[in-house]
Chains A and B, each alone.
Chain A
Amino acid sequence: MDKKLILIADDEPAYSKILQHTLENEGYAVAVASNGDELLKIAHERKSDLIILDLVMPVKNGFQVLTEIKKDQKLKNIPVITLSNLGQEEDIEKARILGATDYIIKSDETFQDVIHIIKKQLT
């Protein structure tokens, strides 16, 4: 059986790198994009099981990308976990309204908890 594919979009490569390594060790396939446009491009090319989306990114920010995904018939059913250091209520609420499945504040969660949240989404 094919490995489940996780798409990660983050303009901060250090975040993508550690997520990619750990999740690959856990037996997932991981594709990394460094901005919103790149993510959308990969999402259209490969059938993915989960999108991890940073909210603050250049070119196209996470909220815009999320909006496009949810409008896209092909992509709208893929669960999206937003990931950010924007810990403010209005950001969380905005992501929820736009259709995010979960919301992770990077520096508020331990790395183990983050991995746990991601894995839970794929079971």
Chain B
Amino acid sequence: MLSQPVNTAPSKKKNQTSPCDHMDAKLRFSELRYRRLFETAQDGILILNADTGKITDANPFLKEILSYSQEDLLGKELWQIGVFKDIKESKAAFFELQEKGYIRYKDLPLQTKDGRSIDVEFVSNVYTVEGQKVIQCNIRDISDRKKAEDLAASKTKDLEKLAKSQEETKQAMLNVMEDLEEAKNRIEIEKVKDEAMFASMGEGLIAVDNSSKVTAVNKAAENMLGWKMKDLIGKVITSLPLEDEEGNPIPFEKRPANLAFARGQIINMTYFCVKKDNTRFPIAVNVTPLVLGGKTIGLIETFRDITHEREIDRAKTEFVSLASHQLRTPLGIAKWYIEAIREEGYFDKVPEIAKDYFNEVYKSNERLLALVRNLLSISRIDQGKVKDTPKLTNIIELVQDAVKSMSIVAAKSDITIHLTIKETIPALFIDPLRVQEVIENLITNAIEYSNTASNIEIAVDKMPKKVLIIVKDTGIGISETDKKKLFTKFFRSEKASVKNAEGTGLGLYVVKSYVEGWGGDISLVSKEGKGSTFTISLPTTKQESKFEFRA
């Protein structure tokens, strides 16, 4: 049963008499209309007693919103149905309402009886019905609207975020583009530099890819080879015509590009190169593999025409040969005459002091002759003219002879040479004159750099497949820095020069060149102030090992 919005008003009107019937009818109509509105409104409506603040009526829609029944609501105060948080807040709102006659909360959270949270718009006003103050509260569920608003707000936020992140992405992209542009510029600069270097260098340069195909050729290479870049691009570099000194083509597997690919190493060699017009010229080639991540991705081949260098070299060598002959003629005369004076009986009539002077002249002359001899050897080594005349040779005899003749020189400085020879030594098929030169050079060195009254130990030994000649002195020794340069042309240790003005700086170079030419090697153990030991190792073949000599 429906309750009346204002429970007193209608009943009072019922007691009215007939003159007022018309009015009454009107009133009834109005009330009915209000009632209808009250029952069907799509807002929740509450009627409260303004004095007590207690609920006197509620429309069906409100009950639907809040899931309360009529009984639940009647006589309750607002805070009890969850509109306000507590009595305090409810009272504050109630006083505000009484004072202003109107309050509106745009957004008020509300708990329904069945535990749902909803948002409501709360409008409340006070009016008087027949002297009685009544409060009407309109409660509108705005949850959906709010949800929509929240959704819209969150979407807006998302959009803002998206926009922001897009802005950031754009900035990042711009930065990357800027970096790329910079890198590109740097590469351009490097490229221009490389190209300029490539074009301006005096050496011929050919770049090839990993399949040996030519990818670039510089101007100098074009000029040297007589081929144009367009003739060469795409060609396989190993097909460029290289020959040896005699004009035999270099076989495929021995070409520098191939060796560089096969070994992954820098290759330096000299050849003859045949130009487009079939003329040939000597060429020094350097091939450098381009290695990226452990893989050879191509080669850079640089080369230069060494015609001029070789001409200079030849002229130098010819000069040395000629000069050494011309030098030897007067030196040989001096040698023979002094020897004749000393040995043919003339010396008996010469005073002691003059004998000493003669000996000094002789020593000096011998030194000069040794220097010329070494110069000649070197020029022949450099010319590749050294031709061995090997014979089956008894090394023991050679060393014994050398020791015998050198002992006389050594004795003058009170130096004793000891010789130790293994019982049997295999014969070597070798040029005896050159072995003699090697042995004498080593013994001469040992004597020169020994202190007076010391010993030199010489040994001839054998090991499987080799014969060893060991020369050991207890002289000044060789410093670590000198060791590296020891076997180079014209090297003389500063210490050696101080100790002794003799020596040509050529002896060890000659020794090393010969020994290596025979497939042997020379090694050195030395300590400064303690002396040096040179060991020459000469390989023997099966054939030679059949013959042995006894000490």
Q: List A residues at the B interface (Cβ < 8 Å).
A: 12, 14-15, 18, 22, 25, 56, 85-90, 106-108, 110-112, 114
A-B contact pairs, 6 of them (CB 8 A): A14-B337, A18-B340, A87-B328, A88-B321, A107-B331, A111-B335
Q: List B residues at the A interface (Cβ < 8 Å).
A: 321, 325, 328-329, 331-333, 335-337, 339-340, 343-344, 369, 372-373, 376, 380, 385, 387, 389
- Give chain A residues whose Cβ lies under 8 Å from the Cβ of B369: 107
Docked Cα-Cα span, A22 to B344, in Å, equals 9
- Give chain B residues whose Cβ lies under 8 Å from the Cβ of A112: 339, 343
Docked Cα-Cα span, A106 to B335, in Å, equals 9
- Give chain A residues whose Cβ lies under 8 Å from the Cβ of B344: 22, 25
Looking at the assembled complex, report how far the CB atom of A120 sits from the nearest CB atom of chain B, in whole angstroms: 17
- Assess the B340–A22 pair: CB atoms within 8 A: yes
Known: A88-B380, A89-B387. A56 touches B340 (CB 8 A): no
Known: A22-B344, A56-B325, A112-B343. A106 touches B376 (CB 8 A): no
Indicate which residue in A14, A90, A107 contacts B328 across the interface (CB closer than 8 Å).
A107
- Assess the B332–A85 pair: CB atoms within 8 A: yes
Q: Kindly report which residue of chain B lies nearest to residue A92, judged by CB atoms.
A: B389
- Consensus secondary structure, chain B interface: helix
Q: Kindly report which residue of chain A lies nearest to residue B377, judged by CB atoms.
A: A87
Looking at the assembled complex, report how far the CB atom of B133 sits from the nearest CB atom of chain A, in whole angstroms: 147
Give 11 new A-B contacts, CB below 8 A, not counting A18-B336, A86-B325, A111-B343.
A12-B329, A25-B344, A85-B325, A87-B328, A88-B376, A106-B332, A107-B331, A107-B372, A110-B339, A111-B340, A114-B336
Q: Kindly report which residue of chain B lies nearest to residue A113, judged by CB atoms.
A: B339
- Assess the B389–A89 pair: CB atoms within 8 A: yes
Known: A22-B344, A111-B343. A85 touches B328 (CB 8 A): yes
Looking at the assembled complex, report how far the CB atom of A36 sits from the nearest CB atom of chain B, in whole angstroms: 17
- Assess the B333–A111 pair: CB atoms within 8 A: no
Looking at the assembled complex, report how far the CB atom of B427 sits from the nearest CB atom of chain A, in whole angstroms: 22
Looking at the assembled complex, report how far the CB atom of B324 sits from the nearest CB atom of chain A, in whole angstroms: 8
Looking at the assembled complex, report how far the CB atom of B303 sits from the nearest CB atom of chain A, in whole angstroms: 33
- Assess the A107–B376 pair: CB atoms within 8 A: no
- Assess the A85–B380 pair: CB atoms within 8 A: no
Q: Kindly report which residue of chain B lies nearest to residue A13, judged by CB atoms.
A: B333
Docked Cα-Cα span, A87 to B372, in Å, equals 11
Q: Kindly report which residue of chain B lies nearest to residue A87, judged by CB atoms.
A: B376
Known: A22-B344, A106-B328, A107-B328. A15 touches B387 (CB 8 A): no
Q: Kindly report which residue of chain B lies nearest to residue A93, judged by CB atoms.
A: B389
Looking at the assembled complex, report how far the CB atom of A83 sits from the nearest CB atom of chain B, in whole angstroms: 10
Q: Kindly report which residue of chain A lies nearest to residue B365, judged by CB atoms.
A: A107
Docked Cα-Cα span, A26 to B129, in Å, equals 179
- Assess the B333–A14 pair: CB atoms within 8 A: yes
Q: Pick the 6 closest A-B CB pairs, nearest first.
A: A107-B332, A111-B339, A106-B332, A85-B328, A111-B336, A14-B333
Known: A22-B344, A107-B369. A85 touches B329 (CB 8 A): yes
Q: Kindly report which residue of chain B lies nearest to residue A14, judged by CB atoms.
A: B333
Q: Kindly report which residue of chain A lies nearest to residue B366, judged by CB atoms.
A: A107
- Give chain B residues whose Cβ lies under 8 Å from the Cβ of A85: 325, 328-329, 332
Docked Cα-Cα span, A110 to B329, in Å, equals 14
Docked Cα-Cα span, A114 to B331, in Å, equals 16
- Give chain A residues whose Cβ lies under 8 Å from the Cβ of B333: 12, 14-15, 18
Looking at the assembled complex, report how far the CB atom of B340 sits from the nearest CB atom of chain A, in whole angstroms: 5
Looking at the assembled complex, report how far the CB atom of B361 sits from the nearest CB atom of chain A, in whole angstroms: 15
- Give chain A residues whose Cβ lies under 8 Å from the Cβ of B376: 87-88
Docked Cα-Cα span, A37 to B344, in Å, equals 32
Looking at the assembled complex, report how far the CB atom of B29 sits from the nearest CB atom of chain A, in whole angstroms: 153
- Give chain A residues whose Cβ lies under 8 Å from the Cβ of B337: 14, 18, 111
- Assess the B328–A15 pair: CB atoms within 8 A: no
